[in-house]
Each structure stands twice: as structure tokens, then as C-alpha cells.
A and B are shown apart, each in its own frame.
Chain A
Amino acid sequence: MSRVVGHPKHRIEDPALLRGNGRFVDDIALPDLLHVAFVRSTVAHARIIGVDVEIAKDMPGVHAVMQAKDLKPALMSLRMPLGASPSSAQNSSTPFVLSDKEVAYVGEPIAMVVAHSRYEAEDAVAAVIVDYDTLPVVTDARVGAVVGAPVVRTELASNVLNKLKVEFGDIEAAFSDAAHVFHDDLLQHRGCGHPMEGRGVLVEVRPGGNSLCVWSSTQMPHDLFHALSAMLDLDENRLRVITPDVGGGFGPKYCLYPEEFALPAAATILGRNLKWIEDRRENFLAAIQERDQYWSLDVATDADGRVLGMKGSLIHDQGAYAPKPVNLPYNSATAATGPYIVPAYSVDVSIVHTNKVPVSSVRGAGYPQAAFAMERMMDLIATELGIDRAEVRARNLIPPSKMPYTKPLKARSGAAMVYDSGDYPASQAEALAAAGWTDFPQRQAAALAEGRHIGIGMANAVKGTGRGPFESGTVRIAPSGRVSVFTGATAMGQGLATALAQICAEELGIEAEQVTVIAGDTAFSPLGLGGFASRQLVTAGSSVHIASKAVAAKAIKAASHMLDVPEEELELSGGHVRVKGNSNRGMSLAEVATRLRGAPGYAFPADVDPGLESSIQWKTDALAYANACHVVEVEVDVEVGHVTINRYVALHDSGKLINPMIVDGQIHGGIAHGIGNALFEVMGYDESGQPLTTTFAEYLLVTATELPRFETIYLETPSPMNPLGAKGVGEAGTIPAAAAIISAVEDALKPFAVRISQTPIVPETLFNLIQKGRAEMAARGEAIS
């Protein structure tokens, strides 16, 4: 019987965060600190003819102005290594620490000013004169993919970074046997991550000058540690990387960034402690975005709307560089068939550079686009064949009898893509029932009679979570009795510490509050991967779970010797090993730990190794597949194209829930992100590659006033793929959201026969679609109902 796991509990992290006692990068005080501001490219593509720092370097408070050539002595290469990759090798698409020859997007760092305050640093940045010879710009990946298009960087022969084909089944037969074939072209814009805390790097030069401690607001401290060690040719023992409190990751902090190398290199050369805190404008200009995908799809069905095959193409806008292996479009292409049985599938993927900030993952990492593509095709089938949208999906969903279900595709690890568990038809049915799907048409008709256009939409989603290959978890009970968990996973605001503390406390018979979790510090956890792919609870949680069990067993074994009571008569409770049925007899975990610490020459309990601790690196190549069904009700003001979300029902099956309150928060946040993707968030660029949205007045994030009340429903089908039975939840809320909202908007606009093939759908675009619908109906002589 679970005491701690599975119960909603307030997050251990929150009292400090809510009282302003958090410790983010910018909160860390170091002596004699100098502040850094970057000179960034103001043009989207140019050759750098010269950089004049003469005025800047003599300005008040300026300590140094450094360019690539000045950092070179401290770096093995000016070109960055490929992050998050098995080889770490650089290539012709990894970014530069500082660019000295050519710039390929607005915001690319060219030089850095080191000054006594950030104010003075920014004053000097404004005085650095960069002489640009501007070059042709590519802002649209479709244009960039064409042979003969200008190249995004002159070192490239082509903007097409990679082409791949994702396919299975007999696609030709599927289409030749089809009763119906439907086509759509989809444009999907994702938007950015926008954590409350931007990026930030702090470097301490340790006494002696040849050791560094680097704090970075990153999801990947271990990746940074190894990359820095190699780039600075620094003995691993002389480097420590720490992720302190992080004010949100959301994907963009997954990559290695130029600033994370420029600061340690400059600190080494100058022998000074340095800090750089990204401001919001820089976050818009230089932090990873996940931006545009262009899908062109044909779907073949039988007479009843059962999918026989889907084929088409996907062009993925990669931006100017690829700081890590480009996995997103592979995620998209392999995830598109989602929870449905699709016998044959073939999609040609082109990954194309553009003169915009590099693209990598933002919450969902290619999956929201996949869900949008598939769900839009499902709605298209339903509309064209006159079948209820839910019914079309029900006819195509993988039934529980086929679980585990193998998609004829491979995950990144090379393992087969196996949906491990879940009941998709039951999930859909329950979500629809909760949302009142079947009686909606009556409500819709009544509203229309009053001149109100309401609509309902739905979308299903499947997300592979808990990506491996491993995550570390060490559980240690100190001689004081204090319990610590150390992990290579990264706490970035999701409540990881609370969840891991719960998992540990459950096995040790203590309260979660008695467990301290130390995450994201390479000095404490030599092995670790970090935060990405809704993985940390599954992977680090499994390691902590197994390690906690091992520590509990070890405590009982040692206490058995010390108390001279058989192990099977002992149990853990309240921080003690107790004799079952005799609560007065036993010993504290502190006493056991003290004994296992050892004392010079004194004998140890037989068959027990020193230290009351265990380190586990639970490994997996498989993913645990979570599923979801969202049902949304909207109202559209057809006069101006404004959408209001009136109701939002989200059903999620993320396996066994460790802390349902945290899960609820993650789902709410995920949906909010999805609403932004559906209706608000546009990262705009003009034709010259100048970003148009560089403040929150221009880039519209959803705020509380735009959000409906969320109704969440949880199913808990345990995953057989990990000892917790858990599935990840961080991204699941985002994935079906835009598809469900757009489906609802389209439903509301049925009287105008509007088809929506893009995200986001902003009021003017929607208004234009409505006007087009009106015009077409008028041309046909139809009255608008």
C-alpha cells in the first residue's frame, strides 16, 4: 500500500520559490564579478568585413572587448561541438562560439563586452561598429530548398541539411485500392519556449586560475560539462557544471549555446569571474525556437473512412545552424500516425536551413505538428465522407486487444517503436462523454439560432516518453540520518525534486520532506543526461526507486546483524528499522548509517558493504507511450475572427501517477502552451530576416485571462517498461491541444464551410477565411445559415 507515492502533495520546492528564496543563476553572488553583454548581428546574412572596438574598449567601466580571435587561445576550436550527440563532433552546421567571418541570423554573437556592470557593458556594445557586407537571405524553407536558392551560409553547397524518408507498408497498393483519397497542405508554426527565466551563465575561476565552476540555466549540465572539458582542454577534475534553480526550460535550454563557451573561455583568459544573463530581447533573438513545418499529405481510405495509407512530404525549417542532431522532423514524421492503425505510410522529409535563429525542441518537440497533421486529416475524412469526427477516429484507433502494438518504425535508439500500453478507444470515449460530445449538435443549433457560432473539436495524441539510454540516481543516508538523492536529471521547475523525494520516501518509510534532492550538479553526479523528452520521472525516478529499495534492503540487512534479529522480522518506518510487532525495538537509520560509515579497525557487519547508499543508472532503449484525448468547445466572433475557448476537457493516460497535483500542473501548462500555438504565438520575421516580434507586446503569450477552466481526467494504465509503471507528462498536454482547438474552430464555422490548415490561426487570418467562405457561398447562391 502506497503511503507517499500516488498522493497529491504540495511541492517541496515551492516555499523557497514563493518567498523569493530561490537560487537562480542571477542570484548567485561571486566576488569581483564582471558582467558580459554580447554584440549580436543586426542583419540576417552578411560577411563580416571588420569589427571596430576602439571606441567601445575605452568606455567607462569596460574591462575588455573580445572577439573570436581573442578567445581562440583558450579554445580548441571556434566551432561548437554537436550537443546531445553520441560523437560530440562538430560539423558544418554547428554554430560558432563567436562569429568572425560571416553571420547567418539576426542575433548571432560576434563579440562580447566585459564590464563592471551590465549597464556599462550594454553602453559599450552600442559603440562596437560592425562592418557588414550583406548577402542574400532565405527566410522560407520552401524557397531555400529549391536548387539554385541562395545559400544561408556561404560554406554550404545547399541549404538542405538532410533528406530522409520515413516509410512502411505498401503505399502504392494502399492508394490504388483506396475508395477515397484526400489531400491537404498544412503550415505549422510553433513559436518559442519563453521560460520566465531566460538563459544565463556564471563562471567562477577557482583560486590558482586553472579550475572553473560554471553555473548555467541549462537542461543539460552534463552535456555542457563534457563539451566544455573538451573545448577548453580542461581536465574533468578541474571543471564543475551546476544547474541551479531554473525558471523553466521548455526545450530551448536543451542545446549547447555559444554563450556557454564564450564565458568560460573569456574567464580563463581574463582570470576573472564573469556573468551573463540573457535578457528578453536576446531570448527572442538568440534562444532556440521551434518554428515552421510545411506538410503536404494525401490520405487514402476505404469507403468507411478507414485509413489505408498516408503519404506526402514534410519541409522542416532548421534555421541557420543545427546545434544538436536534428531529431525533430524525425519525431514528427514517425509520430504522425499517432494512435491510429495506418497500414502504409511514406513521408519525404527535407531539413532546410534558413537565415533565422536555429531550431530545436520546444515542448512537444515535433509531436504537436505530427498530431496536428494527422488529426486534421481525420477531420478532413470525416467532413468529406459525412461521418462524425469521433466515429472516424474510433474506426481507426488501435484497439486495446492489439497492445502492445508495434509500429513498423524505429525509435532513435534503433529499438522497435512499440506502444507499450493504453486503451485509446476507451480514452476517447470517456473524454467525449465528459465533454458532452453527442448532445453538442443541439447546443450548437440553439446557439446559432441566437447568432452565436460555437463549435466542438477533439484530438487524440500519443507521446513517446522517458527517453533513455539512462539516468542516474544515488540514494544516500548520512550518519546524521539525513537522506539525500543525487541525480543527473535536471530540476527545471516541474517538481522533479518532490517526485523523486516521494519515490525515495516510499521505500525508506519516511516522509518526502525528509529527503533532499540534488539534481544537475556534475560534482555530485558524475553520470547524467538531463531534462528532455518527458523523461525524468520515468528514468531518474526508476533509478531512485531501485536505489531506494536497495538502501532499504541494506539497512535491514545491517540492522539484522546489529540487532541480532532475522531480516524478515524487520521493517522500515519513521526513519527507523523496527522489529515487526514491537515498535520499541529497533534502531534509527542514522545508527545504521553511522555503523556503515566504518571506524578504524572495528569490524563491519558481515556481508554488508560500506556506506548506506546505492547508485543506480536505470537503462532503457524503449519509450513509455502516454496517450491523451482533448475535447474543446469554442465560440467564434465571426465579425472579427476572435476565438474564445469556453470549455476544455483533457483526458490523459500517463501511467502510474507519482504526484497527481504536479501532473495536473504539467497538463495545465502544456495545454496553455498548446492554446498559444493554436491561437496566439507567432514569431514573425520580415523578408530580410529581421525578427518582428521581440517583446511580449508583439509576441503574444497566453495569459490567465485567455485560458478556460481545465477539466482533467486521468487514466492510469501502468507502463510495463519501467518499475514505476510511469509515463512522462511534461509535453503531453501540448501535443493534441492545437489540433483540438482548430477542429473546434472549424466546427463553429461550419456555416461558412471553412477549412483551416494552419497554426496559429490569428483573428485576421480567420476573418479572411470566413469572408472567403461567405463569398464562395454567395457565388453559389447559398444563404448562410
Chain B
Amino acid sequence: MKPPPFEYLRPESLDELCVMLAGTENAKILAGGQSLMAMLNLRYVFPDVLIDINRVPGLAGIEIKRDRLRIGAMTRQRKIELDPLVNERAPIVAEALHLVGHRQTRNRGTIGGSLCHLDPAAELPTIALLHDAEIEIAKEGGRRTLPIADFIVDYMTPGIEPNEVVVAVEIPLWQDGHGYCFHEFTRRHGDFAVASAGCLVTCDASGTIDKIAIAVGGVSTVPLRGVEAEEVLSGTSGDDATVEAALSFCDGLDVLGDFHGSADYRKHVARSVLRKTLKTAISRARDRLGGLN
């Protein structure tokens, strides 16, 4: 379990990084290394060049500008989890991060690394999808921004070119007091989820759901938005019967089976996880609404 031979590069600036990306073939970017190092050691990947971006300044940091939370790609997951602003304005991000690996892996793992790895069972891509995040991407001589829905192309395939690097993720914030829940079923704490689900929701003064976002992870090749479930619940009180109706969205999922669960079982677990997620999020929306009033 030693990695195959590779050339190691360590840029000291974003410009240098972009030049390196433009000038190399079959390069892999090393961020926190929590997935890549294991994949290298198992010889699942054979990059010719490993570009270590841990010394590139300006890629880490958390800031809120108006109603958007901007997190630098190299920000460690543990840093985000403990950040007071994140906990206050986007509490679901912290709730989900509690479930990402273990404290030790979160100390090294980065948000950009997780998004680019794009494991369908990982928490952060699902969270980004739920929040309609935008991904900031840089390359030599240019920058662009990609909506998360376009960034998620296919199984472990992000929508970036070999000469590009993710520099930040921008998360549109929901109004204060919104309901939220991220919940998952894993065999052990910190494992990739058999199924996971996230929900953001706000209610008006009468308790009617006026805005809701739903996403599930772990069951398909990519994390998925539950658009149909959102439509079922929008404009309702989010009572148990409506929640049950919304769950039928799971029936149409194209679910993958693996050693830890057949497709049928995963679909069932997704329903169960989503039910708990929706109920908690809706109830929190009501409670927090009450609290704010």
C-alpha cells in the first residue's frame, strides 16, 4: 500500500498553481488528502503529477457578505464546523459536518476537496446542493462561477476541467430562524452514509411552508434534489400526512446497491431518513419562528 511514482509540485501562489495546472498532464490536486492519499496508497489512482495546494495563500477562510456565505476551498472542515457565523447563519452546515468522518479527519479534510471528490454519500456535496451553492473556479487567465447543479456532473465527476481548480464555494443564506435538518443512517459513526437527507424550510406567520429545499445523498450516483417532494410540501402546513406524501419521491429514485445495502434496502432507508429529516426541519422552523417572534 505505497503510492505509485508521481512528480510532486508545491505551488506558493494561486497564479503559480494555475500555471502548473495548465502545463501538466494527468495531475491531481492534493488538498486535505483524506480521500486522495488512501486512493494513492491503494493504487486506485495513478497521477503523473501531484500538486499540493496546502501552501497556496488565500484559499482558506470564511466570510459573510450580505446574504452569502463564502468559504474558501482549502478551509478545513473542522474550522467550518466550529465557526460561530456558520453555526448562526447556516446551522445545517455544522450539523452535517458533525457527521463527516471523525474529528481527526475533519482537521485535515477541506470543503473544496470534498466537493471535488464528489462521493455521492459525502455530506458536503449534498449540503451544497441543498443550498444552491455556487462554485468559484480558477484557471490560468480566468475565473468562472458554476451553480452546484452544473458542478455535479456524474458519479465522482465534478464539472471542472483538468486545468481548473475550485477556489471557493458561495452559499446563499436562508433567512434567520429557518428550519433545517441533516440526518443520515450509517453503520458506524463517521462512515459514508447508507442514505442521508437534508432539508431547509421556512414557514410564514401562519405556519405554512413558504420555502423548502430537500436533498438526499448516498443512494444514487450523485446527491439529488427532491424537487417533487419540495412541491408536495410547499404551501402546506407540513403535517405528517403531507410529509408521507412527499416521501413518495423516494420511490422514483434510481438507487445503487452495494455490499452494505441492496438497492431496495437503501431506498427504504432513504425514506426513513428523509421522514425524520423533514419532520425535524419543519418542527424546527415552527419552533424557531415562534422564538423569533
Measuring CB to CB, which residues of chain A are less than 8 angstroms from any residue of chain B?
Answer: 118-119, 122-123, 126, 279-281, 639-640, 642, 680, 684, 692-693, 695, 697-698, 700, 702-703, 705-706, 762-764, 767-768
B272/A692 in contact, CB under 8 A:
no
Known A-B contacts A693-B259, A764-B261, A764-B262; A640 and B188 likewise in contact (beta carbons under 8 Å)? no
Q: Which of B110-147 contact A (CB under 8 A)?
A: none
Known A-B contacts A698-B259, A702-B188, A703-B189; A279 and B43 likewise in contact (beta carbons under 8 Å)? no
In the assembly, what is the distance between CA of A698 and CA of B192, in Å?
10
B5/A123 in contact, CB under 8 A:
yes
In the assembly, what is the distance between CA of A703 and CA of B4, in Å?
31
- Can you report 22 residue pairs joining A to B where beta carbons are below 8 Å apart? A118-B2, A119-B2, A119-B3, A119-B5, A123-B5, A126-B4, A639-B272, A640-B272, A692-B259, A695-B38, A697-B191, A698-B259, A700-B187, A700-B191, A702-B188, A705-B189, A705-B190, A762-B187, A762-B260, A763-B265, A764-B261, A767-B268
Nearest to B46 among chain A residues (CB) is A126
B188 in complex: contacting residue of A639, A684, A705, CB < 8 Å? A705
In the assembly, what is the distance between CA of A279 and CA of B192, in Å?
23
Chain A residue contacts of B192, Cβ below 8 A? 697
Nearest to B3 among chain A residues (CB) is A119
Is B45 in the interface zone, CB < 8 Å from A? Answer: no
B188/A700 in contact, CB under 8 A:
yes
Chain B residue contacts of A702, Cβ below 8 A? 188
Is B292 in the interface zone, CB < 8 Å from A? Answer: no
Is B1 in the interface zone, CB < 8 Å from A? Answer: yes
In the assembly, what is the distance between CA of A320 and CA of B279, in Å?
52
10 nearest A-B pairs in the assembled complex, by CB-CB distance:
A705-B189, A279-B1, A764-B265, A639-B272, A119-B2, A122-B2, A640-B269, A692-B259, A640-B272, A764-B261
Fill in one digit per residue for B163-194: 1 if any A CB lies within 8 Å of its CB, else 0.
00000000000000000000001011111101
Residues of chain B at interface, number, CB under 8 A = 24
B259/A680 in contact, CB under 8 A:
no
In the assembly, what is the distance between CA of A279 and CA of B4, in Å?
15
In the assembly, what is the distance between CA of A706 and CA of B187, in Å?
9
Fill in one digit per residue for B1-14: 1 if any A CB lies within 8 Å of its CB, else 0.
11111000000000
In the assembly, what is the distance between CA of A330 and CA of B34, in Å?
45
Chain B residue contacts of A768, Cβ below 8 A? 265
Number of A-B pairs, beta carbon distance below 8 Å: 58
In the assembly, what is the distance between CA of A764 and CA of B4, in Å?
37
A703/B1 in contact, CB under 8 A:
no
A763/B1 in contact, CB under 8 A:
no
Chain A residue contacts of B1, Cβ below 8 A? 122, 279-281
Chain A residue contacts of B3, Cβ below 8 A? 119
Closest CB in chain B relative to A436 CB, distance in Å: 28
B187/A126 in contact, CB under 8 A:
no
In the assembly, what is the distance between CA of A768 and CA of B42, in Å?
34
A706/B42 in contact, CB under 8 A:
no
Nearest to A698 among chain B residues (CB) is B259
A281/B259 in contact, CB under 8 A:
no
Nearest to B186 among chain A residues (CB) is A642
5 further contact pairs, Cβ within 8 A, besides A118-B2, A698-B259 = A695-B38, A703-B189, A706-B189, A763-B187, A763-B265
In the assembly, what is the distance between CA of A119 and CA of B2, in Å?
6
A642/B188 in contact, CB under 8 A:
no
Nearest to A118 among chain B residues (CB) is B2
A680/B187 in contact, CB under 8 A:
yes
A684 in complex: contacting residue of B2, B42, B259, CB < 8 Å? B259
A640/B185 in contact, CB under 8 A:
yes
Known A-B contacts A126-B43, A639-B272; A703 and B188 likewise in contact (beta carbons under 8 Å)? yes
Chain B residue contacts of A642, Cβ below 8 A? 185
Nearest to A281 among chain B residues (CB) is B1
Nearest to B265 among chain A residues (CB) is A764
Chain A residue contacts of B42, Cβ below 8 A? 281, 695
Closest CB in chain A relative to B2 CB, distance in Å: 4
Closest CB in chain B relative to A652 CB, distance in Å: 27
Chain B residue contacts of A680, Cβ below 8 A? 187-188
In the assembly, what is the distance between CA of A700 and CA of B259, in Å?
11
Closest CB in chain B relative to A502 CB, distance in Å: 35
Chain B residue contacts of A706, Cβ below 8 A? 188-189
In the assembly, what is the distance between CA of A684 and CA of B5, in Å?
31
Chain B residue contacts of A119, Cβ below 8 A? 2-3, 5
Q: Which of B47-100 contact A (CB under 8 A)?
A: none
In the assembly, what is the distance between CA of A559 and CA of B168, in Å?
81
Closest CB in chain B relative to A671 CB, distance in Å: 17
In the assembly, what is the distance between CA of A639 and CA of B195, in Å?
13
Q: Which of B178-225 contact A (CB under 8 A)?
A: 185, 187-192, 194
In the assembly, what is the distance between CA of A702 and CA of B261, in Å?
18
In the assembly, what is the distance between CA of A32 and CA of B269, in Å?
56
Known A-B contacts A680-B188, A695-B42; A123 and B272 likewise in contact (beta carbons under 8 Å)? no
Closest CB in chain A relative to B45 CB, distance in Å: 14
In the assembly, what is the distance between CA of A692 and CA of B265, in Å?
19
Closest CB in chain B relative to A643 CB, distance in Å: 11
A640/B268 in contact, CB under 8 A:
yes
Nearest to B257 among chain A residues (CB) is A764
In the assembly, what is the distance between CA of A279 and CA of B38, in Å?
13
In the assembly, what is the distance between CA of A280 and CA of B38, in Å?
12
In the assembly, what is the distance between CA of A700 and CA of B190, in Å?
12
Nearest to A702 among chain B residues (CB) is B188
In the assembly, what is the distance between CA of A767 and CA of B262, in Å?
12
Chain A residue contacts of B189, Cβ below 8 A? 703, 705-706
Nearest to B273 among chain A residues (CB) is A640
- B42, B188, B261 interface centre (most CB from chain A within 10 Å): B188
In the assembly, what is the distance between CA of A764 and CA of B266, in Å?
9
In the assembly, what is the distance between CA of A126 and CA of B44, in Å?
13
Chain A residue contacts of B194, Cβ below 8 A? 763
- A119, A281, A640, A702 interface centre (most CB from chain B within 10 Å): A640
Chain A residue contacts of B268, Cβ below 8 A? 640, 767
